[in-house]
A and B are shown apart, each in its own frame.
Chain A
Amino acid sequence: MPRWSFAPVLALCLLGLAPTTRAREPIDPIPLEIEIDLDKARLGYQLYIDKRLSRDRTVSCDTCHGLYNGGVDHRNVSIGVGGKAGKVNAPTTWNAVFNFRQFWNGRARDLREQAAGPVHNPIEMNMSEAEVGNRLSQSPEYRAQFSKIYDSTPNLDDALDAIAEFEKGLITPNAAFDQYLRGERTLPAKTVQGYRLFKTLGCVTCHNGINVGGNSYQYLGVVVPIESKNPSPADRHALTGELFDRNRYKVPTLRNIARTAPYFHDSSARTLDEAIRIMAYHNLGYQIEQDEVEKIRAFLLSLNGETPWILKRLFPGKDIDP
């Protein structure tokens, strides 16, 4: 065999190996759809937007986690029943299914457990299990639905199950960055540079995975502590009492981050740039340059996804602003 023939073969092999998708990136794209029980999800949607689930019928899930509003309420803290102010900024329900735990301090293992929290919380919805059952049972619509889906009368357990099923569908696929990851498009140079900075500066160390966060607990103010008068009500220390857990939170997702201002558990950052700066300085011990902030912002904007999949499915044509 002639010696020269080796080279094209090798080249072909390398071409064959060359990935069309960016497989080894620390961020995974959001799947285009998710397996779901549509009947439950429909019921879940009804319950999600139903204010009867709160004591004074003023608050629904949707009040603080606006379905077409980035899954948040854009308030510093949420307002519950009787206008009571909450203690933390409401995390988005969009893509929450991909979080390894729910709540800022991760005290709920999954969506269902999470959904129970606000219902019982005296300053959120302030409802007892029996009261939820009573209220829902008054609706013939609910009675029919629960009977059909759960073969039961309306009750909190099944309601939470339906809400969780609905929330599973609140995924926002096809972000520009996801398309880029799948090799479907290119990104502007600034965005690509921003992603590179995101990785090299160390943001990605905590903000990785499908949700660009939401898969580990990390400190706020690792390198340069953030001064605070009061101990945080939302950190893991509030949950475990461990010294190790002080100022330790579940890393929030950066998916659709441009749509979920204000930022941090205490809404201490009003803008994305502010949040980027705070993170760089306090958590990375890095005094970030303005052009770096802009690049990173550009990258973060590429994480904006489509209208949540289940909403598109249930209400075709009704989309969020791009």
Chain B
Amino acid sequence: MNRKPVLPLILLGALVLLSFILTDWLVREQADRANRLHNIFQQARIHWLRLEKTLLAENATLYSNYGQSQLWLEQLRQDLTKLQAELQDQSWASQALDQLVGDLEITEEQIDYFHTQLAIIKNSTQHLPRLLSRYVSRHPHGGETDVSRHQTERQYLAMLARAVSEVVLAKTSGDLDLAPSLKQIIDDMRQLSPPSAMDLSFHQIFLRHLEVIYRNLPGFLLTQDNLQNQPFLEHLDTLDTLAEQEQQSRLAWITALHGLLAGIFSLLLIYAGWLLVRMQRENWRLEAAREALDIAVVSDTLTGLPNRLAWSQQTDETRAVLLLNVDRFKHINDFYGNAAGDQVLIQLTRLLIGQLDTTLSSRLYRVGGDDFALRLPNNHPEPVMELAKRLLFAIEHHVFLFEGRPVRLSASIGISEHEPLLETADLALKSVKKKRRRIQVYQPDEGLEKAVEHNLHMVDVILKALEDDRIVPWFQPLLNNHTGRVDRYECLMRIEMPDGSVLTPWRFLPVAQEARLQGEMSRALFRQALRHMQKSSAGFSLNLSMSDMEDEALVQLFSETFSQKPALARRITIEILETEDVQDNQSVEHFLQHMRDLGCTLAIDDFGSGYSNLSQLLRLGVDQLKIDASLIRNLDSSPQSQATVRAILEFARAAQVKAVVAEHVSSHQIQRIVQELGIDYSQGFWIGKPEPELLPEELLQAEKLPSD
């Protein structure tokens, strides 16, 4: 699971949450504010209307509580304070707000005027009828006998009544057009004097009331008009509308923000989806890679076949295993190059798969360089041997191609039906080469297993012998045909077993070579032999193989020993096998040269058994030749052998070889021929068998010399 997408996803979540909170908060805030504003506007409207209603009532009724209108004014002042608090810093509102504050100040002033003027007008208007009534009650009708006086009184009374009427008319109509007639009355009354002197003060008071009304009426009406025409509500509506517009624009802004957030949200959702898809893809890819890796681990990259690991992992039931090995495949690689080998293997794989049906082709493994294993299921109908033959036939009759050149192949097959299948099949395959059959079926009693056991046992034997110093030299005498005396021995390696038996090299040498123990054994042998050599004055032959001479410890041992004991070195002959090619091996050649310089004699063992590298003999300055046993063995019966031996002797003389040895001299006849041929030394059972001890010298002389 990739961890990277987790962080963006968390951020996404947080962003979404934040945006929701933000938007929600904005909308809430906006709604709250709009609500508050709306409430204040509504309150202000109601208070204004109540104020108007109160003023109207004050105008209409005789007496009222001015505290009421003061109360509404105070409420309105508070409403405006709230609005100012709500709309402070809002430039769009300031003008309308200032207008409203101004309106309210004017209203307040006008109400102050109104209350004063109203009180004056009301009281005087109220008092005129009261005065009239008092006048009438003081001057009862018909009480006056004087006609002219009565007439005057009646005129005066009519004027009072007219005045009252005019005042009521003017006051209730609120029409200034009626003011002139009121003025007329006042002027008229000023001309008049009351009918009786005792009414003078009454007259003056009445006139004052008229004057008060006349004086104050225009102002009162103006104040009334002013109050009625106050644009407070209009300005309130203006501000309300502005607030509404402002709110709309804010809402538009919030809507835009909301849209933006929604857009981002969608994008993020898409991103999240993409991340998920990518994660899934990644998972698929990883899974595929893992599977590929699994396959790669258990399959062979060259042929694509399952490999050895896959073999060990398979659990299917298997009846038998065919293990196929290409013959001399190393030769193909060496001869044509590795690319050719690879090509051939690929083609071989194709060929094999082509030969197998589908159930079998899935059971073909490449278990080694050129080893192919085929698992046969329990129910496979074709006999195993038939299948093996068919495959070999197909391989032998197929022309493999490398860069257009034909390459012929043959193969061998080991078959096993015994557990462990592959190992036993391998054993069978190994025995193919020995038995010279192309197909070998593993048989539990075949001895292969025993051989393995033997080998393992032999390694143990060798190691134990090394440990116990039981690697010992046996000495076989060489007869000097010129003197008739044994004056040399060949040191032969033996292992003395704890039970007293003795093992000869053919029993342990292959194992020793395989286990790379030979060098160590040779050193052990040399150390043992050294004791005998020092007790005797005879010469000694030592067999050294290539691996011996490549063993640094052995080289050092020889070098040190012979440097310190030059006399001993002159008695030592180092035998190397004719077949061994030392020419390309600088260190071996150098060793031999060094030994020779120290006084050792160089000898070629088994000369004539193979293809001798004569130039090598000459270059190394070989001192001695030992003619192969195969030539000596039938020297008495085969003229061919005699001819060959003569030729060798010819060659030896020409090559200035100092001595020639005949081995495997098994009879008197052969010894005689050897002597006749002029061979310098004889070695063989007729001369003497290998023994753990050296011969007493006197014993040898008479007995083995030819009597003639």
B116 near A26 with CB under 8 A, answer no
* Candidates A217, A224, A244, A287; contact of B115 at CB < 8 Å: A217
Q: Is the CB of B212 within 8 A of A285?
A: yes
B120 in the interface, Cβ–Cβ < 8 Å?
Answer: yes
Convert B49-66 into 0s and 1s, putting 1 for each residue whose CB lies closer than 8 angstroms to a CB of A. 000000000000011111
- A88 vs B122: C-alpha distance in the bound complex, in angstroms? 29
Bound Cα distance from A223 to B208, whole angstroms = 6
Tell whether, in the assembled complex, residue A284 and residue B123 are in contact, meaning their CB atoms are under 8 Å apart.
yes
Interface mask (A207-247 → B, CB under 8 Å = 1, otherwise 0)? 01111000111110011100000000000000000001000
A83 on the B face (CB < 8 A): no
Total contacts A-B at CB 8 Å: 88
A277 located at the interface, meaning its Cβ lies under 8 Å from any Cβ of chain B in the complex: no
Q: Mark B191-214, 1 if CB is under 8 A from A, else 0.
A: 000000000010001001100100
Chain B residue with Cβ nearest A209:
B67
Contacts of A42 in B (CB 8 A): none
Are A208 and B205 in contact, CB atoms less than 8 angstroms apart?
A: no
Across-interface contacts of A223 in B (CB, < 8 A) = 123-124, 127, 205, 208-209, 212
Residues of B within 8 A of A222 (CB): 119-120, 123-124, 212
Per-position binary interface string of chain B over residues 67-78, scored 1 when its CB falls under 8 Å from any chain A CB and 0 otherwise: 110100000000
Name B84-139 residues within 8 Å CB distance of A. Answer: 112-113, 115-116, 118-120, 122-124, 126-127, 130
**Cβ B208 vs Cβ A28 within 8 A:** no
- Tell which of A28, A205, A218, A286 touches B67, judged by Cβ atoms closer than 8 Å: A28
A100 to B115, CA, bound (A): 13
Question: B130 — nearest CB in chain A belongs to which residue?
Answer: A286
B65 contact set on A, CB distance < 8 A: 26-28, 208-210, 215
A205 touches B119 (CB 8 A): yes
Q: A202-B122, A205-B123, A223-B124 are in contact. Are A285 and B209 (CB under 8 A)?
A: yes
Query: Once bound together, how far apart are the Cα atoms of A215 and B108, in whole Å?
Result: 12
> Could you say which residues of chain B place their CB within 8 Å of the CB of A244?
113, 219
Contact of B116 among A208, A211, A219, A287 (CB under 8 A): A219
Given contacts A217-B116, A287-B201, contact A205 B124 (CB under 8 A): no
Assess whether B205 is in contact with A202, with CB atoms less than 8 Å apart: no
Q: Which residues of A contact B123 (CB under 8 A)?
A: 202, 205, 222-223, 283-285
Q: When the two chains form their complex, are residues A285 and B205 in contact, meaning their CB atoms are under 8 A apart? A: yes
Judged by a CB distance under 8 angstroms, whether A38 is at the interface is no
A246 and B524 alpha carbons, distance in the complex (Å): 153
Residues of A within 8 A of B (CB-CB), count: 29
Which residues from chain B contact A218 at a C-beta distance below 8 Å? 115-116, 119
Please name the residue on chain B nearest to A205 by beta carbon.
B119
Query: In whole angstroms, what is the CA distance A223 to B123 when docked?
Result: 10
Knowing A217-B112, A222-B123 are in contact, say whether A208-B67 is a contact too (CB < 8 A): yes
Interface centre among A28, A100, A217 (most CB of B within 10 A): A100
Q: How far is the CA of A205 from the CA of B120 in the complex (A)?
A: 9
Q: How large is the interface on B (under 10, 10 to 19, 20 to 34, 35 or more residues)?
A: 20 to 34
Judging by beta carbons under 8 Å apart, are A205 and B208 in contact? no
A208 and B63 contact, Cβ closer than 8 Å, known pairs A222-B120, A222-B123: yes
Alpha-carbon distance between A215 and B360 when the two chains are bound, in angstroms: 120
CA gap between A244 and B222 in the complex, in Å: 14
Report yes or no: B116 in contact with A216, Cβ–Cβ below 8 A. yes
| B63 touches which of A98, A199, A217 (Cβ 8 Å) | A199
User: Quick check: is A206 within 8 A (CB to CB) of the other chain?
Assistant: yes
Q: In the assembled complex, which residues on chain B have CB atoms less than 8 Å from the CB atom of A209?
A: 65-68, 70
- State the main secondary structure of chain A at its contact with B: loop
Find residues 215-244 in chain B having any chain A CB closer than 8 Å to their own CB: 219
Query: With an 8 A cutoff between CB atoms, is A144 at the interface?
Result: no
**What's the Cα separation between A248 and B130 when bound, in Å?**
26
Residue A204 is within 8 A (CB to CB) of chain B in the complex: yes
What is the distance, in angstroms, from A233's C-beta to the closest C-beta of chain B? Answer: 20
Asked if A224 and B205 sit within 8 Å, CB to CB, the answer is: yes
Contacting residues of chain B (514-558) with chain A, CB-CB under 8 angstroms: none
A287 touches B64 (CB 8 A): no
What's the least CB distance linking B222 to chain A, in Å?
12
Residues of B within 8 A of A286 (CB): 127, 130, 205
- Chain B residues positioned under 8 Å from A199 (CB to CB): 62-63
Closest chain B CB from A245 CB (angstroms): 9
Contacts of A208 in B (CB 8 A): 63-67
- Provide the bound-state CA to CA distance between A219 and B63, in Å: 17
User: A206 with B119: in contact, given A284-B127, A285-B124, A287-B205 (CB under 8 Å)?
Assistant: yes
CB-CB under 8 A from A284, the residues of chain B are 123, 127
Query: When the two chains form their complex, are residues A215 and B205 in contact, meaning their CB atoms are under 8 A apart?
Result: no
**Distance A286 CA – B116 CA, assembled complex (angstroms):** 18
Whether A205 pairs with B205 at a CB distance below 8 angstroms is: no
Cβ of B205: which chain A residues have Cβ within 8 Å of it? 223-224, 285-287
Q: Which residues of A contact B209 (CB under 8 A)?
A: 223, 285
* Pair B126/A202 contact, Cβ less than 8 Å: yes
Name the one of A100, A219, A248 contacting B70, with C-beta atoms under 8 angstroms: A100
A204-B63 Cα distance, complex, nearest whole Å: 6
Chain B residues whose C-beta falls within 8 Å of the C-beta of A285 in the assembled complex: 123-124, 127, 205, 208-209, 212
- With most chain A CB atoms within 10 A of its CB, the pick from B68, B116, B212 is B116
Does A100 lie within 8 Å of B63, measured CB to CB?
A: no
Complex: A283 Cα to B68 Cα, angstroms? 23
Task: State A286–B63 Cα separation when bound (angstroms).
Answer: 17
Name which residue of chain B comes closest to A199, CB basis. Answer: B63
> Which chain B residues border A219 with CB–CB below 8 Å?
116, 120
Residue of B68, B120, B208 touching A224 (CB-CB under 8 A): B208
Q: CA separation between A222 and B209, bound complex, in Å?
A: 9
CA distance A202 to B64 in the complex (A): 11
Query: Which residues of the partner chain A approach B119 to less than 8 Å between Cβ atoms?
Result: 202, 205-206, 216, 218, 222
Q: Which residues of A contact B66 (CB under 8 A)?
A: 208-209, 215-216
**In the bound complex, CA of A30 to CA of B297 (Å):** 105
Residue of chain A at shortest CB distance from B201: A287
Complex: A204 Cα to B58 Cα, angstroms: 12
Are B212 and A216 neighbours in the complex by a CB distance under 8 Å?
no
Compute how far the CA of A216 lies from the CA of B115 in the bound complex, rounded to whole angstroms: 6
A205-B63 contact, Cβ under 8 Å, with A100-B70, A219-B116, A244-B113: yes
CB distance from A74 to the nearest CB of B (A): 27
User: Can you sample 29 A-B contacts with CB below 8 Å?
Assistant: A26-B64, A26-B65, A100-B70, A199-B62, A202-B122, A205-B63, A205-B118, A205-B119, A209-B65, A209-B67, A210-B65, A211-B67, A215-B67, A216-B112, A216-B115, A216-B116, A217-B116, A219-B116, A222-B212, A223-B123, A223-B124, A223-B127, A223-B205, A223-B209, A284-B123, A284-B127, A286-B205, A287-B201, A287-B205
The 4 closest A-B pairs by CB, nearest first: A209-B67, A216-B115, A202-B123, A215-B66
Q: Which residues of A contact B (CB under 8 A)?
A: 26-28, 98, 100, 199, 202, 204-206, 208-211, 215-219, 222-224, 244, 248, 283-287
Q: Please give 5 more A-B residue pairs, beta carbons under 8 A apart, in addition to A211-B67, A216-B116, A244-B113.
A: A205-B63, A215-B115, A218-B119, A222-B124, A284-B127
